[in-house]
């Protein structure tokens, strides 16, 4: 039997604890001491793995992002219907609604992330650009296959998708409308809105089946870039 990866287990515990404290107290208030104490690990041990507080919490955000992208790729590979932007958006919405760390990351919640928002923007700008390229290619392939509206450019499709999705999250945080709708009901409405705005009425099933493994692989390639970014921050 192989020996357990003690360092890997310890890093996982540190990242889970840091994520919990990030949501509970916000980046500005959390210290390395807090994370070490909550994780049951010496402060010096934290610095064995992460040079700075920023490195620790940027790794938290990268691992959250990796989880979201990996699940998206898995869903697309398992069910061709999930290659459609309406279905993708609904699934991601449900994930972000259920996970406050993911939501803070994707919507750059300044109250939770504090100056880490700017660190993430500056440090991870290349990765964000790569993610946008991947989404653009995803939409381009669908449009060329006759699954999306042909009267909009890929940039217009991407903008509309982002505007609709962001709008649902913004409204979620306001005390107006939707109070009686649970997350599943809101997700269904989001799916309907994206489908109506971007997709053709009956996307060809054969094309969805053809494209699903291709698009899943696009996102798995993005996962490799995310892994590179978080691993280079861990010692």
Predicted TM-score (pTM) above 0.85: no
- Can you read off the two tokens belonging to residue 82? 């999930």
Cα distance between residue 198 and residue 164, in whole Å: 11
pLDDT tens, the chain, 235 aa long: 333 344 568 888 999 999 888 888 888 888 999 999 999 988 999 999 998 888 888 888 888 888 889 999 999 999 999 999 999 999 988 888 887 777 766 655 555 556 666 666 656 667 778 889 999 999 999 999 999 999 999 999 999 999 998 888 778 766 555 567 888 999 999 999 999 999 999 999 999 999 999 999 999 999 998 888 888 778 7
- Can you read off the two tokens belonging to residue 15? 């990242």
* pLDDT at residue 97, rounded to an integer: 82
* pLDDT at residue 58, rounded to an integer: 84
Instruction: Assign residue 26 a region (left: φ > 0; alpha: ψ between -120 and 50; beta: otherwise).
Output: left
Q: How many CA atoms lie within 13 A of 94 on its CB side?
A: 14
Instruction: Assign residue 135 a region (left: φ > 0; alpha: ψ between -120 and 50; beta: otherwise).
Output: alpha
DSSP 58-110: HHHHHHHHHHHHHHHHHHHHH-GGGGSHHHHHHHHHHHHHH-HHHHHHHTT-H
For 40, counting Cβ atoms within 10 Å of its Cβ (0-12 exposed, 13-18 middle, 19+ buried), the class is exposed
């Amino acid at each position: 039997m192989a020996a357990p990866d003690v360092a890997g287990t310890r890093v996982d515990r540190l990242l889970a604890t840091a994520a919990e404290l990030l949501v509970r107290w916000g980046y500005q208030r959390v210290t390395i001491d807090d994370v070490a104490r909550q994780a049951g690990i010496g402060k010096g041990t934290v610095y064995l793995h992460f040079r700075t507080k920023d490195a620790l919490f940027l790794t938290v955000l990268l691992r959250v992002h990796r989880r979201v992208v990996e699940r998206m790729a898995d869903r697309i590979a398992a069910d061709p219907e999930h290659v459609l932007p309406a279905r993708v958006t609904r699934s991601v919405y449900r994930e972000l609604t259920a996970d406050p760390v993911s939501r803070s990351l994707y919507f750059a919640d300044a109250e939770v992330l504090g100056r880490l928002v700017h660190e993430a923007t500056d440090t991870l700008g290349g990765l964000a650009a790569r993610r946008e390229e991947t989404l653009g290619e995803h939409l381009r392939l669908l449009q060329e296959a006759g699954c999306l509206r042909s009267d909009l450019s890929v940039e217009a499709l991407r903008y509309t998708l982002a505007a609709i999705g962001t709008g649902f999250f913004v409204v979620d945080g306001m005390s107006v409308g939707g109070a009686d709708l649970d997350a599943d009901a809101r997700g269904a409405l989001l799916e309907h809105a994206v489908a109506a705005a971007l997709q053709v009425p009956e996307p060809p099933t054969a094309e969805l089946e053809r494209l699903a493994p291709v698009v899943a692989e696009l996102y798995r390639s993005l996962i490799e870039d995310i892994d590179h970014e978080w691993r280079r921050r861990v010692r």
